[in-house]
Amino acid sequence: MNFLKIGFLALLPALAGMACSTMNQNKKGFKADDMMIRMAEIEIDSAYFDEYIAILKEESAASVRLEPGVICIYPMFQKENPTEIRLLEIYANRAAYESHLQTPHFKHYKTTTLNMVKSLRLIDMEAIDMESMAKIFAKLGQQEKN
């Protein structure tokens, strides 16, 4: 499990490099009102846990690195029940999300993990305080420099 925690922490620099808007629009041109925010709740078959985590880490890192419209894909698991995965997903807009679904790395993730997933629930979210979100990303960037 320590390997997994370290792996997730390794994703933080990629997330820190992408910041949300403190006003209505940031320097990348993302409009806060257009952003699509989603939580994915995924239950994984424990027999495939390590394999699933490796594939998920690869996919989430590639999405943030390669897709300009993917602001954040942040995977987590419950401490008490590690087969319960949660993803915080933030896209510049609906079109960025739709484009993400067509990428080779997402299609690879989806097809290779299909038999590993016991359940999937996608929950569309609305940000309450976009300014605080930007401060969180900025703070992560500062932590990385120290």
* pLDDT tens for each residue of 33-76: 789 999 999 999 999 999 999 999 999 999 999 999 999 999 99
The reply to whether 96 falls in a domain is: yes
The overall average pLDDT reported for the chain is 83
At 54 the pLDDT is 97
What is the DSSP code (8-state) at residue 65?
A: H
Q: CATH no. for residue 32?
A: 3.30.70.100
Q: How confident is the model at residue 134 (pLDDT cuts 50, 70, 90)?
A: confident
- pLDDT of 141 over the 90 cut: no
**Domain span at 67:** 2-140
The reply to whether 16 falls in a domain is: yes
At 146 the pLDDT is 66
Residue-wise pLDDT for 83-118, tens only, equals 999 999 999 999 999 999 999 999 999 999 999 999
- Higher-confidence position of 81 and 142: 81
Burial 56-80 (b: 16+ CB within 10 A, else e): bbebbbbbbeebebbbbbbbebeee
At 91 the pLDDT is 97
Within its chain, how far is the Cα of 38 from the centroid?
9
The reply to whether 145 falls in a domain is: no
Instruction: With 0.85 as the threshold, say if the pTM is over it.
Output: no
- pLDDT of 26 over the 50 cut: no
At 128 the pLDDT is 87
Domain total in the chain? 1
Read off the tokens for 57.
Answer: 């880490």
> pLDDT exceeding 70 applies to what percent of the chain?
77
The reply to whether 146 falls in a domain is: no
